[in-house]
């Protein structure tokens, strides 16, 4: 893919990057919709669908882009996309959502935040000894395997949360689908998955070329433009949920996506590389501190018993924090 894009004009490559971001998001949505339909045809319980297909589907763009970039040897891009998405989700997505309506912070959200804090520590702490010795971090391959092993335990946790939810399952009148529809839906799922992988490949290649030609770090592109683009599903969900008075759905979606960005997206990116991945210094100067700061601020809402929602003013604060993160990216990674 890189060879095909190299001869093209920079303006055209930028257009290709933006189109691939859009198509990646839309194809992921199409994949999730058809995967849910397939699951209902196979009579899989709705709580299992929500804890698996829907949860993984919202982070599928990050997974595709990060894994492909890691396999290409672009470790900074892979890690920048995952970490940038967490920061974008927790600051910009929730902040913009709160501008359209209050977002309640429930016990479920605080539980997910606790899990997220643990997996963030699992990701960062193994890199510290190497940083102290050489000034550059490394996340070992075994840590990627550990993160992936934790994924099924997280899914079981989600299913347990769904069981405790007061929501009532709604039966679908289309459950009794014919075998022909089953085959067609399965083919649509496979086709959508292949198209997601293709879009991710185009996205990574175009971002690398743009970074090289403009003379900026591809980490800056992955942690900002790509992270924002792959977080569009969470952003649209947050705004829609807040507008209709269901802000709790937004915060649950964001926290779930954040956890999977570490366990599934980052875990897979690390696990496929023998020897693990190198962590550039910019992550210790900008991305890791920003992620910890954003999670600490969100922790104030999640763990403070006197606070039970993110309101309009706090939405402005979270959005402003995202702006500071963008500025810090420009200053430290150019």
Smallest Cα–Cα separation from 289: which of 325, 326, 255, 330? 325
> HSE (CB half, 13 Å, CA atoms) of 96?
17
| pLDDT of 146 | 93
Residue 171 predicted with pLDDT over 60 = no
> Per mean pLDDT, which of 124-128, 144-148, 206-210 is the most reliable?
144-148
pLDDT digits (tens, 9 = 90+) for 300-318: 888 877 777 888 888 899 9
pLDDT of 153 > 70? The answer is yes
For range 137-142, the mean pLDDT: 87
Angle between helices 75-87 and 247-260 (to 10 degrees): 160
Beta partners for 104? 309
Average the pLDDT over 219-229 and give the result: 83
Binned at pLDDT 50, 70 and 90, residue 333 comes out as low
Please state the pTM of the whole predicted model.
Answer: 0.80
pLDDT at 1 over 70: no
Q: What percent of the chain has pLDDT over 90?
A: 13
CB contact at 8 A, 127 and 139: yes
Span 118-144, mean pLDDT? 83
- Beta strands of the chain (E only): which ranges? 103-104, 137-139, 277-279, 309-310
Burial class (CB in 10 A: 0-12, 13-18, 19+), 284: middle
**Structure tokens given for 243:** 């507008």
Crossing angle (nearest 10°) for helices 288-303 and 312-333: 170
pLDDT band at 177 (very low <50, low <70, confident <90, very high): very low
User: Span 50-78, mean pLDDT?
Assistant: 79
Q: Find the mean pLDDT for residues 85-104.
A: 88
């Amino acid at each position: 893919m890189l060879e095909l894009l190299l001869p093209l004009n920079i303006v055209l490559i930028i257009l290709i990057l933006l189109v691939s971001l859009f198509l990646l998001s839309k194809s992921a949505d199409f994949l999730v919709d058809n995967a849910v339909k397939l699951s209902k045809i196979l009579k899989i319980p709705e709580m299992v669908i929500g804890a698996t297909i829907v949860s993984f589907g919202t982070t599928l763009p990050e997974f595709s882009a990060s894994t492909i970039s890691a396999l290409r040897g672009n470790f900074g891009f892979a890690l920048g996309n995952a970490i940038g998405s967490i920061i974008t989700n927790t600051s910009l997505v929730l902040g913009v959502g709160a501008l359209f309506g209050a977002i309640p912070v429930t016990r479920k959200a605080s539980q997910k935040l606790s899990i997220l804090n643990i997996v963030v520590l699992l990701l960062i702490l193994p890199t510290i000894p190497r940083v102290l010795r050489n000034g550059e971090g490394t996340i070992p391959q075994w840590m990627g395997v550990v993160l992936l092993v934790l994924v099924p335990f997280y899914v079981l946790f989600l299913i347990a949360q769904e069981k405790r939810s007061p929501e009532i399952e709604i039966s679908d009148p289309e459950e009794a689908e014919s075998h022909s529809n089953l085959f067609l839906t399965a083919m649509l799922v496979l086709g959508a998955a292949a198209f997601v992988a293709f879009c991710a490949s185009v996205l990574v290649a175009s971002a690398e070329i743009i970074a090289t030609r403009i003379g900026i770090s591809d980490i800056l592109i992955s942690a900002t433009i790509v992270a924002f683009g792959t977080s569009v599903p969470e952003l649209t969900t947050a705004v829609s949920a807040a507008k209709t008075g269901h802000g709790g759905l937004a915060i649950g979606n964001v926290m779930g996506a954040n956890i999977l960005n570490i366990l599934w997206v980052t875990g897979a990116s690390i696990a496929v590389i023998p020897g693990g991945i190198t962590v550039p210094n910019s992550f210790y100067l900008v991305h890791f501190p920003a992620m910890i700061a954003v999670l600490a601020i969100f922790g104030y809402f999640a763990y403070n018993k006197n606070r039970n929602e993110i309101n309009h003013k706090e939405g402005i604060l979270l959005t402003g924090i995202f702006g500071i993160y963008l500025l810090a990216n420009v200053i430290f990674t150019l």
